[in-house]
């Protein structure tokens, strides 16, 4: 049993359909898709120690199977520059989450390196009743909700499909390098689309995938956040 199968089996045994960010990133990185590694801290002292080990600046995020939209409830703190800021952020996240989601099961707080700035895109997958798994690509971060600038293809996709998905969005000039900004590594984004297509094609237990944001650079791309939702188990 590989890592993906173990994570899915454990979640199903636990009666969960939502994987944590750490579990989701383990599956995604297992496909040789670049991610910003998230490490779990269960105490404030451990969070500070992990931050020192990873290197500042860091990001803290709440880890709970019941909490999907972490930012909406104060569950994310960005750009923390020193141990004191990490300690205060840990306390603030725990206080906010306990107030807003008192019944959520908290596994801890994820500590990860703050990704350096780049072009932000989103890659996702959802299942259509008629067509099955459908991949989505678009500008990431807040833009995906505001601009709705996305393209779609039915799984499985070819490299030509992947390139067309990227070129179809209205924000494509941003990825090509707009007004002196660095051009994104389009081949790396194509690879991500192809690898995600392969994962969902051979893993029918996966219902939804959301990689947002993916930060694209001139020399590669990494998923700063990842969310995977499973189909309900028949067990």
Confidence (pTM)? 0.92
Rounded CA-CA distance 33/29 in Å is 5
Work out whether the CA dihedral 68, 73, 77, 83 comes out positive or negative. Answer: negative
- In degrees, rounded to 5, the angle at the alpha carbon of residue 128 between the alpha carbons of residues 121 and 126 is 30
pLDDT at 92: 97
pLDDT at 142: 64
pLDDT at 159: 98
Neighbours of 227 (CB within 10 A): 21
Residue 40, φ and ψ in degrees, nearest 5:
-85, 130
Task: Report, as ranges of residue numbers, the positions in the chain whose pLDDT lies below 50.
Answer: none
- CA 162 vs CA 27, 72, 76, 102, 200: distances in Å: 21, 31, 31, 42, 15
Rounded CA-CA distance 132/135 in Å is 10
pLDDT at 233: 83
Residue written as tokens 């995977």?
A: 228
pLDDT at 43: 97
pLDDT at 182: 86
User: What is the CB-side half-sphere exposure of residue 49 using CA atoms within 13 A?
Assistant: 7
Rounded CA-CA distance 202/156 in Å is 10
pLDDT at 181: 78
- In degrees, rounded to 5, the angle at the alpha carbon of residue 171 between the alpha carbons of residues 215 and 227 is 40
* Complete domains list, the chain, with CATH: 37-114 (3.30.1490.20), 119-230 (3.30.470.20)
- CA 28 vs CA 76, 123, 171, 195, 231: distances in Å: 21, 12, 25, 9, 17
Q: Regarding beta strands 108-113 and 119-128, do their DSSP bridges make them parallel or antiparallel, or are they unpaired?
A: unpaired
């Amino acid at each position: 049993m590989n890592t993906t199968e173990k994570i899915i089996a454990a979640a199903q045994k636990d009666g969960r359909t939502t994987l944590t960010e750490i579990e989701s990133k383990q599956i995604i990185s297992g496909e040789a898709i670049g991610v910003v590694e998230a490490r779990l801290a269960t105490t404030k002292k451990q969070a500070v120690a992990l931050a020192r080990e990873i290197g500042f600046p860091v990001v803290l995020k709440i880890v709970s199977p019941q909490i999907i939209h972490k930012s909406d409830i104060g569950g994310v703190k960005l750009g923390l520059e020193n141990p004191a800021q990490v300690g205060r952020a840990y306390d603030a996240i725990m206080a906010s989450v306990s107030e807003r989601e008192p019944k959520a099961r908290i596994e801890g707080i994820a500590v990860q390196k703050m990704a350096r700035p780049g072009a932000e895109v989103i890659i996702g997958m959802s299942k259509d009743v008629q067509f099955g798994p459908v991949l989505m690509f678009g500008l990431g971060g807040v833009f995906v909700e505001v601009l709705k600038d996305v393209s779609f293809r039915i799984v499985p996709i070819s490299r030509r499909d992947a390139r067309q998905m990227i070129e179809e969005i209205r924000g494509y000039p941003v990825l090509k390098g707009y007004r002196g900004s660095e051009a994104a590594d389009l081949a790396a984004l194509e690879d991500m689309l192809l690898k995600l297509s392969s994962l969902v094609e051979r893993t029918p237990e996966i219902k939804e995938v959301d990689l947002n944001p993916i930060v694209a650079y001139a020399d590669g791309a990494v998923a700063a956040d990842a969310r995977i939702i499973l189909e309900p188990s028949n067990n």
